[in-house]
Chains A and B, each alone.
Chain A
Amino acid sequence: MAFGISVTIMFVILHLMPGDYITLYLEGIYVIAPPEVVLAYNQAYGLDRPLIDQYFSYFLGVLQGDWGYSLSYSRPVLDVISEKLVWTLVILLPATILSIIAGIAIGAYSGWRRGSKADVTLLNGMIFLRAIPSYWLALMILLVFAFYLDLFPLGGYVSLSALDTGIDLLDVMNHAALPIFTLFFFSVTGTYYLMRNSMLMTAGEDYIVTARAKGLDDMTILRQHALKNAMLPMVTRVALQCAGMLTGSIFVETIFSWPGIGMLTFEALQVRDLPLLQGILLMDTLIVIVANIGADMIYPFVDPRVEVGSDARA
């Protein structure tokens, strides 16, 4: 349902965009494109048919796994996307996992030790980090670590030597380090805020007093009693973050010339490759939906109060 609505909205919005691929493409070849050439191209891609026809054939195609044909790559959209998605995941997965772990750990500590020096320092640092525009931070990281310090390559995903030796994991990780680092900083602040807040709420709960009254020490209470409760709201957040970072990677991939979905989006947008753009946005939607379903399916395992499918006995 949500998927069908997204397909429709995306189709409408993208077709409202000025400019089209054929015009832009032919501009590169002719000074003034002959009308018969334009017509021939439009016929070849079915772009002369009424929009409503295009919409229905696209919708049916999507449901059958045919996401259309990329104009600029001259290949099926799904092929192009799945190829680039792998590269996006190479930087996205480590960045997401690291930011979640770090965000939860320092957020939990910060919230548990509310008002302490460590908490105040962390909180102010995070606010500062959050306030930096992401593209500026990415450019600065690139400038300092790749250009001035020359610690990492300026861009791309493999060195030129890969032409002779093939793709080498270490070489890829060397190229991926800065994008991962940048993405990590984009997302760690959000996780930190939410975790700190969640921990503040949990620290004031009666069962925490119960745990203290038992004679447990502070760190044991944090680990055994507070952490699990405070992490419950994080499940949804983490799921959404996984999906949200896909969009966030557009900046990072463009700036670091990383050949993933983000850069593909940028390219497709520049040349008005609508089928490809639709496919990318559809993939984003799909990931959001899957992540949400995933979060809902995880809940019964982490929160005993959520019981799926069982009759409510309580």
Chain B
Amino acid sequence: MGDALLCVRGLKVGFPTVDGVVKASNAVDLTIQAGETLALLGETGSGKTVLGMAILRLLQPNTRIEGEILYRGRDLLSLPQEEMQKIRGREIAVVLQNSGTSLNPVLRVGDQIAEAITLHRGLKGAEAEAAAVELLERVRIADPARMAREYPHRFSGGMRERALIALALACSPSFLIADEPTRGLDAVTKHEILALFSEINRGRSVLFITHDIEAAATLATRVAVMYAGEIVEIGPVDAVLSSPAHPYTRGLLESLPARGMRPIPGSAPSLIAPPSGCRFFPRCPCSVGRCETEHPGLVPVGPGHCARCMLYD
């Protein structure tokens, strides 16, 4: 493991709504080392995407953000807009979720990739186009020269995902955020995309956001599990998936078809007024008295492995 490339400290994200502030991220601490792939696991609404978007400052302007996001020692949250634009796409790139709607429908796919190349690498016209075709070839799109001139509606779901990956790789970013890149894909395409990721992840730090435990197990070196805007467990992929410490992680694994398909009772809490104390206690099978009132911190349970649970306090 090398040095910390990205370091998130005490990140709080709130969305003001008419019903109150939705606390989508509550004091998240996260470190990503150079060259490692960290999988961010959690169910829908747990705050995974918000964390990814907050790093690139792509959340809506009225969002309340507190804390620090240090990238190579610089706090991204306090950078001026122009500096941030130089980091987006060049240093940190993102593969957005919803590949179906993330490409501009009225621009040719090749042009959309070439745009980023022109912006950050200074290549113009035919050179940028050739680079775009190269990228499409690298993500294994058949007949890349022809497809570069096509519009997104001519692309299948898997091809759009590949095109978005090509776009993210356009300027060889040192850090890649992939937001549920396997969502909505059939099993074969999903495995192809995962294989592609295991290839492009080499020598690059990746935050792989997913709710697919299998995908996380294939790609990640470390796993962080999010629940209701908090990281509840983090550690090496083998340790977390083979001996999960937090009751929520255990529940998540037991809900897999291969492990009995037992769902976690109850549903995810409101993020406007989250439960006091431990956020998981209303659904937790092992809750003790003080879970209701005391908020647990992340405590070490093994080498590099922490869990946010009273059981280990």
Tell me which residues across on chain A come within 8 A of B85, comparing CB atoms: 215-217
Q: Tell me, rounded to whole Å, the shortest Cβ–Cβ distance linking B258 to chain A.
A: 33
Q: Is A207 within 8 A of B167, CB to CB?
A: no
Tell me which residues across on chain A come within 8 A of B105, comparing CB atoms: 207, 229, 303-305
Q: Tell me, rounded to whole Å, the shortest Cβ–Cβ distance linking B88 to chain A.
A: 4
Q: Tell me, rounded to whole Å, the shortest Cβ–Cβ distance linking B49 to chain A.
A: 11
Tell me which residues across on chain B come within 8 A of A210, comparing CB atoms: 96, 102-104, 112, 164, 167
Tell me which residues across on chain A come within 8 A of B94, comparing CB atoms: 213
Q: Is A207 within 8 A of B104, CB to CB?
A: yes
Cross-chain contact of A209 among B90, B96, B107, B154 (Cβ < 8 A): B96
CB of A169 within 8 Å of the partner chain: no
Q: Is B101 within 8 A of A205, CB to CB?
A: yes
Cross-chain contact of A212 among B58, B82, B104 (Cβ < 8 A): B58
List B residues at the A interface (Cβ < 8 Å). Answer: 56, 58, 81-82, 85-90, 93-94, 96, 98, 101-107, 112, 115-116, 119-120, 151, 153-154, 164, 167
Q: Is B106 within 8 A of A206, CB to CB?
A: no
Cross-chain contact of A215 among B88, B101, B104, B154 (Cβ < 8 A): B88
Q: Return the CB mask of A209-240 against B: 1 if under 8 Å, else 0.
A: 11111111100000011001100100000000
CB of A49 within 8 Å of the partner chain: no
Tell me which residues across on chain B come within 8 A of A207, comparing CB atoms: 101-105
C-alpha gap A205/B120 in the complex (Å): 24
C-alpha gap A224/B108 in the complex (Å): 12
Determine the residue in chain B with the shortest Cβ distance to A313.
B154
Number of interface residues of A (CB under 8 A): 23
Tell me which residues across on chain A come within 8 A of B89, comparing CB atoms: 213-215
CB of A314 within 8 Å of the partner chain: yes
Q: Is B103 within 8 A of A213, CB to CB?
A: no
Tell me which residues across on chain B come within 8 A of A314, comparing CB atoms: 153-154
Q: Give 14 new A-B contacts, CB below 8 A, not counting A210-B102, A210-B167.
A: A211-B104, A213-B89, A213-B93, A213-B96, A214-B119, A215-B85, A215-B88, A215-B89, A217-B85, A228-B107, A303-B105, A304-B106, A304-B151, A305-B151
Tell me which residues across on chain A come within 8 A of B107, comparing CB atoms: 224-225, 228
Q: Is A214 within 8 A of B167, CB to CB?
A: yes
Q: Is A206 within 8 A of B116, CB to CB?
A: no
Cross-chain contact of B106 among A211, A213, A214, A229 (Cβ < 8 A): A229
C-alpha gap A73/B85 in the complex (Å): 68
C-alpha gap A213/B87 in the complex (Å): 9
Q: Tell me, rounded to whole Å, the shortest Cβ–Cβ distance linking B181 to chain A.
A: 14
List A residues at the B interface (Cβ < 8 Å). Answer: 205-207, 209-217, 224-225, 228-229, 232, 302-305, 313-314
Determine the residue in chain A with the shortest Cβ distance to B104.
A207
C-alpha gap A288/B258 in the complex (Å): 63
Tell me which residues across on chain A come within 8 A of B154, comparing CB atoms: 313-314
Determine the residue in chain A with the shortest Cβ distance to B91.
A215
* Chain A to chain B: the 7 pairs with minimum beta-carbon distance, closest first: A215-B89, A215-B88, A304-B151, A206-B101, A207-B104, A214-B89, A206-B102
C-alpha gap A212/B107 in the complex (Å): 16
Interface CB pairs A-B, < 8 A, 25: A205-B101, A207-B101, A207-B102, A207-B104, A207-B105, A209-B58, A210-B104, A211-B104, A213-B58, A213-B94, A214-B88, A214-B119, A215-B90, A215-B116, A216-B115, A216-B119, A217-B85, A224-B115, A225-B107, A229-B104, A229-B105, A229-B106, A303-B106, A305-B105, A305-B153
C-alpha gap A229/B81 in the complex (Å): 25
Q: Is B58 within 8 A of A215, CB to CB?
A: no
Q: Is A214 within 8 A of B102, CB to CB?
A: no
Answer whether A213 and B56 are a contact pair too, CB < 8 Å, given A206-B98, A224-B115, A314-B154: yes
Tell me which residues across on chain A come within 8 A of B86, comparing CB atoms: 215
Q: Tell me, rounded to whole Å, the shortest Cβ–Cβ distance linking A89 to chain B.
A: 32
Q: Tell me, rounded to whole Å, the shortest Cβ–Cβ distance linking A155 to chain B.
A: 46
Determine the residue in chain A with the shortest Cβ distance to B100.
A206
Determine the residue in chain A with the shortest Cβ distance to B57.
A212
Tell me which residues across on chain A come within 8 A of B167, comparing CB atoms: 210, 214
Tell me which residues across on chain B come within 8 A of A209, comparing CB atoms: 58, 96, 102
Tell me which residues across on chain B come within 8 A of A228, comparing CB atoms: 106-107
Q: Is A214 within 8 A of B56, CB to CB?
A: no
Tell me which residues across on chain B come within 8 A of A302, comparing CB atoms: 106
Tell me which residues across on chain B come within 8 A of A224, comparing CB atoms: 107, 115
Tell me which residues across on chain A come within 8 A of B164, comparing CB atoms: 210
C-alpha gap A216/B132 in the complex (Å): 17
Tell me which residues across on chain B come within 8 A of A212, comparing CB atoms: 58, 88
Q: Tell me, rounded to whole Å, the shortest Cβ–Cβ distance linking A282 to chain B.
A: 37
Q: Is A214 within 8 A of B104, CB to CB?
A: no
Of the candidates B89, B98, B104, the one having the most CB atoms from chain A within 10 angstroms of its own CB is B104
Tell me which residues across on chain B come within 8 A of A313, comparing CB atoms: 154
Q: Is B102 within 8 A of A215, CB to CB?
A: no
Tell me which residues across on chain A come within 8 A of B112, comparing CB atoms: 210
C-alpha gap A91/B28 in the complex (Å): 63
Answer whether A214 and B153 are a contact pair too, CB < 8 Å, given A206-B102, A207-B102, A229-B106: no
C-alpha gap A90/B96 in the complex (Å): 51
C-alpha gap A224/B105 in the complex (Å): 12
Tell me which residues across on chain B come within 8 A of A217, comparing CB atoms: 81-82, 85
C-alpha gap A212/B58 in the complex (Å): 7
Determine the residue in chain A with the shortest Cβ distance to B98.
A206
C-alpha gap A82/B88 in the complex (Å): 59
Q: Is B153 within 8 A of A215, CB to CB?
A: no
Tell me which residues across on chain A come within 8 A of B115, comparing CB atoms: 214, 216, 224
Q: Tell me, rounded to whole Å, the shortest Cβ–Cβ distance linking A217 to chain B.
A: 6
Of the candidates A224, A229, A302, A304, the one having the most CB atoms from chain B within 10 angstroms of its own CB is A304
Q: Tell me, rounded to whole Å, the shortest Cβ–Cβ distance linking B80 to chain A.
A: 12
C-alpha gap A206/B152 in the complex (Å): 13
Determine the residue in chain A with the shortest Cβ distance to B171.
A215
